[in-house]
Amino acid sequence: MEITVRHNPSFAAARVTLEPNETVRTESGAMMATSGGVQIQASAQGGVMKSLKRAALGGESLFVTTYTAPPTGGWVDVAHHLAGDIVVAGVLPEQPMFVTRGSWLANSTGVELDTKWGGFKNLFGGEGGFLIHAAGHGSIILACYGAIDTVNLQPGETITVDSGHVVAYGPTVTSNLRKAAGGMIQSMKSGEGLVFDFTGPGWVMTQSRNPSALEAWIRAIMPGQGGGAGGVLGSFTR
């Protein structure tokens, strides 16, 4: 499998070039196009209960789409639903990773996804208390809203990240959730909510835009679903 990312940083798309009969798994609805002869099959990956868990708790779709190349090989183009970067990362047995909801785009068949409880400190972080745990051996494609940055932390080094800007992080990183400013009044005045203090060693991947903030802004300017602007929004989201 060979993965090539193009159109970075604003409107990235990834082309997965497959060997004969090789497969790739993607988020449902992520496909842009395929070469001729590629077979498409949607299924509840890992069984119905595991898929329900991933969908309900991890924020991903219930079904995973598997693309299989014909005997002559082929390719699959995938893209995120929001404008931004795409990055390809490697997953090793000793180097799994945690991915926040909405950031997983695709992976090779050697990578297994599961939903892990991130602790109560993640529950109020704006991105849910559950994280996608990617383990195994292979490649994973992550997408984000805006631009991706990766910060490598030395032992004991700390970085503070807004909860809605986290994409993924390594298993050796520890995290602590707190209010960005002391007390409710200060938080309201500053316009900041909750932030994570990540402490190394390890790495943290962030996105320059916050999908939850985009959703809140759309809801604020398009209230209601009965008609007018709200009705228009509803027609696009159904």
For the stretch 159-169, pLDDT in tens is 999 888 999 99
Exposed e or buried b for every residue in 174-199, given b needs 16+ CB within 10 A? ebebeeebeeeeeeeeeeebbbbebb
- Cβ proximity of 75 and 108 under 8 Å: no
Q: What is the Cα 70 distance to its own chain's centre?
A: 29
All domains of the chain in start order, with CATH: 2-216 (3.60.160.10)
Task: Identify the pLDDT of residue 100.
Answer: 86
Contact, 1 vs 18, CB < 8 A? yes
- Looking at residue 80, its pLDDT comes to 94
Q: What is the pLDDT of residues 49-104, one digit of tens each?
A: 454 444 444 444 556 899 999 999 999 999 999 999 999 999 999 999 999 888 99
CB-based contact 127:101 (threshold 8 Å): yes
Dihedral of alpha carbons 3, 6, 8, 12, sign = negative
Cβ neighbours of residue 189 closer than 8 Å, sequence gap 6 or more: 181
